[in-house]
Amino acid sequence: MTISLPIDLYSAEAQALESLKSALRDCPKRLWSVGWAFEGLRLMPVALRLRNSLQQHGYRPLFLWPDAGSAALARRDVNNNDPKITDFRNYLAEGSTIHNDIIVVVAPQPSDYEQVVSICDRRVGACVILNGRLENAAVGIGSIARENRRNFLSIIGIAYQLQPLDSGALLRAYPQDWALFRADPDGYRLVDTFKTRPDFEAINAALLDSRNSLVRQVTEIERFLEGLQH
């Protein structure tokens, strides 16, 4: 299957939806994540469009926001008082009986970690972390707490992740491997694929190798053309 970058946000949303559907078909009770690492992304409309798309495909999603204010804004934007749009605290207090087959946890931050774990523990079906940032490098966290957090994050499967880079982009669209693209003047080109998420050094090395290879190809073509002129 050809790996390609989406051309805009709506294409990225559609690509993420297809990846999430594939992930849910294969592992309907797993923890999954979906994320778009775009600077200045307004997540509320994106999340609500995902909700509508999941409903259109037969899912019964429960969308949880970190705070009551965000949940209220979401309910306002869909023009109803849907109990399947609520906040972390309310769900943990009284909402665990709401019938759903997928819980979508919207934009949790490091401070929400304990609540997110409790939410995931109560799930019946899948739980999806949407544009979450649960890692915490704070010095004050004890080694045991840090290890517990690391273990929890390690069991979350990545259904979709699109991350722009300074000179390219990194894409994971389940069930495909991680794909690294190089930004060229005329567009993006696939550089390499990885079974697991590449670290900073692997990304830089792959981009450097691809640029060196491109330079060699251009040089060889120039020499060939020069040879034809003699």
pLDDT in tens, 116-149: 999 999 888 999 999 999 987 665 567 888 899 9
What average pLDDT does the segment 169-180 reach? Answer: 97
The total number of structural domains in the chain stands at 2
More confident residue, 139 or 23: 23
More confident residue, 5 or 223: 5
pLDDT for 212 beyond 60: no
What average pLDDT does the segment 209-224 reach? Answer: 48
pLDDT digits (tens, 9 = 90+) for 24-38: 999 999 999 999 999
Same domain membership, residue 147 and residue 215: no
Beta bridge partners of 34: 130, 160
4 part of a folded domain: no
Same domain membership, residue 128 and residue 102: yes
Give DSSP secondary structure letters for 132-182.
-------TTS-HHHHHHHHHHHHT-EEEEEEEEETTEEEEEETTSPEEEEE
Same domain membership, residue 146 and residue 132: yes
What average pLDDT does the segment 76-102 reach? Answer: 85
Same domain membership, residue 219 and residue 157: no
**pLDDT number for residue 94:** 80
Same domain membership, residue 136 and residue 220: no
84 part of a folded domain: yes
CATH label of the domain that carries residue 50 = 3.40.50.300
Residue range of the domain that includes 213: 199-230
Same domain membership, residue 92 and residue 14: yes
**pLDDT number for residue 136:** 77
Please state, rounded to an integer, the average pLDDT across all residues of the chain: 88
**pLDDT number for residue 222:** 42
**pLDDT number for residue 210:** 61
The verdict on pTM exceeding 0.75 is yes
Q: What distance in Å separates the CA atoms of residue 28 and residue 32, rounded to the nearest whole number?
A: 10
**pLDDT number for residue 185:** 86
225 — pLDDT class (breaks 50, 70, 90): very low
What average pLDDT does the segment 147-152 reach? Answer: 92
Contacts of 47 (CB under 8 A, 6+ apart): 63, 74, 104, 106, 130
**pLDDT number for residue 229:** 54
Same domain membership, residue 203 and residue 190: no
140 part of a folded domain: yes
Contact 53, 20 (CB under 8 A): no
Same domain membership, residue 49 and residue 21: yes
Same domain membership, residue 223 and residue 187: no
